[in-house]
Amino acid sequence: MNYEEKMEFLTDVFEADEDLTEATVLEELDTWDSVAVLSIIALLDDKFGKNMSAAEIRTCSTVADLLAIMC
Amino acid sequence: MVFRRATLKDIPAIMKFIDLHWKKNHIISRNRSFFEWQYVMDQEVNFVIALNEEDTIVGINGFIPYNHLAVPDIAGSIWKVVRTDNPILGLQLSEVLCNIIPRRFVSAPGLSRRAYLIEKYSHNPLGELAHYYIQAPKTCYHIAHFPMYEDTRYLPIPKNMSFRQITDVVDFEEALQSIPLEDSIPYKDEWYYVRRFWNHPVYHYEIYQVSYHQKKLLYVTREVEANGAKALKLVEVLGDYEMISYTGGELRQLLCQKGYEFVDLYSYGVPDDVLKKAGFQWCDPKGEVIVPNYFEPYVCENIPLYFTTNSHELLTNPHFHLFRADGDQDRPS
């Protein structure tokens, strides 16, 4: 997954009407909920072979943090 | 956190939750009778809910039965949670629905983008409805975008095959009784069809019957409007699909008589060849032709419709069919 694909994925996950940026604070998104976390867990497992817990993903505070674990 | 099936007393709170957290001012949240038509069956509410310590709803997961059997086929519906301390609330709610609601197959189109991503990356069975259309011969189009008029060949209707509109519910029920509904997956019974299409509280559906000796085919249609123009949506087809092959001429007559720009069909499991024999063309979601699917409000885009099921085998089962009006789709907003 390249950078654009990751951002497109996160835009869909957060149902973001406006473009997300790396600086976007997750706590400010209404859709930073368990469904979003579940989507990210599934993606990490499928695309990157990572098995991360919901609690670990919850420690991310910005979109940049999420991008950092998507590798 | 408490998870349980909703009761009639929970309806106002569910409607409020939908308004606050799912979609503002949606018909499901502002119209109790529509909510009940969609989600209440035999005095049971077809939602499971999650409640926090203050007894406030923090998550809902709806479903719609396709029939009256003790273990029915069902469609998933609204699935929404709010942010809480529980990082797996959405997943738990989904598991509770699976555990407390008996069902055979679960399938419906209209997955949200988020739900699609979860299903995709979890390797759950996923599919996409094929989108076909017949274009009416016009000089300009106000709903669809057709770069040019492209006529297609179609088989003529055979002698002794009839195509007529059903205008009486008794005729509709008789037609349904002559079709082996139980052979289809999901199994939609007569109760479902009459309630879903004949007794819809808002939409008006027109039903056409094709007959050839003992064989029957029913088209369920709905007229849509935008930009001062009209089009026809085939939202469900049931019966002998081979007969679709011979209805191209009759559908074109309908287009011309009523001034429709096009007739289109979203389907899964209807053989491509019968649609092509009737002169339907495949709508490439990324192609130049645009056959809109959203009208409330109107959106001039091709919209792919995805679905998930609870069985990989179902995707290749010849009895498995899905249409645009399945589940909670084709409803007013």
**What number is the average pLDDT over the span B282-300?**
94
Least confident span in A7-21, B52-66, B108-122, B259-273: B108-122
Confidence of residue B264 (pLDDT cuts 50, 70, 90): very high
pLDDT the model gives residue A16: 82
Instruction: Enter the ipTM.
Output: 0.72
Say which residues have a Cβ less than 8 Å from residue B328's Cβ, sequence separation at least 6.
Answer: B38, B62, B64, B75, B77, B78, B108, B110
Peptide bond into B147 cis (omega under 30): no
Do B77 and B328 touch, CB atoms closer than 8 A? yes
> Least CB-CB distance to B90: which of A15, A30, A35?
A35
Nearest chain A CA: its distance from B114 CA (Å): 5
Nearest chain A CA: its distance from B317 CA (Å): 27
pLDDT the model gives residue B5: 96
What CA–CA distances, in Å, run from B14 to A16, B9, B39, B156, B201? 24, 10, 11, 51, 20
**What is the chain A residue with the closest CA to B123?**
A46
pLDDT at A18 > cutoff 80: no
β-strands B2-5, B40-41 pairing: unpaired
**What number is the average pLDDT over the span B225-251?**
96
pLDDT at B85 > cutoff 90: no
Report CB contact under 8 Å: B88, A13: no
- Confirm whether pTM is higher than 0.90: no
**Cα(B8)–Cα(B40) distance, integer angstroms:** 8
**Cα(A66)–Cα(A59) distance, integer angstroms:** 10
> Least CB-CB distance to A15: which of B81, B87, B114?
B114
Least confident span in A9-13, B8-12, B147-151, B222-226: B147-151
Report CB contact under 8 Å: B122, A30: no
**Cα(A37)–Cα(A2) distance, integer angstroms:** 20
Confidence of residue B255 (pLDDT cuts 50, 70, 90): very high
Render pLDDT for B146-175 as a digit per residue (tens, 0 to 9): 998 888 899 989 999 999 999 999 999 999
Report CB contact under 8 Å: A34, B113: no
Continuous segment of H or E residues that includes residue B48: strand B47-51
B196, two tokens: 């879903």
Report the percent of chain B where pLDDT is more than 90: 78
pLDDT the model gives residue B166: 97
**What number is the average pLDDT over the span A39-43?**
87
Nearest chain A CA: its distance from B87 CA (Å): 5
DSSP A24-69: -BGGG-TT-SHHHHHHHHHHHHHHH-----HHHHHT--BHHHHHHH
Render pLDDT for B311-331 as a digit per residue (tens, 0 to 9): 889 999 999 999 999 988 889
**Cα(B223)–Cα(A44) distance, integer angstroms:** 44
Render pLDDT for B164-212 as a digit per residue (tens, 0 to 9): 999 999 999 999 999 999 999 999 999 999 999 999 999 999 999 999 9
Task: Name the residue with tokens 């299903």.
Answer: B119
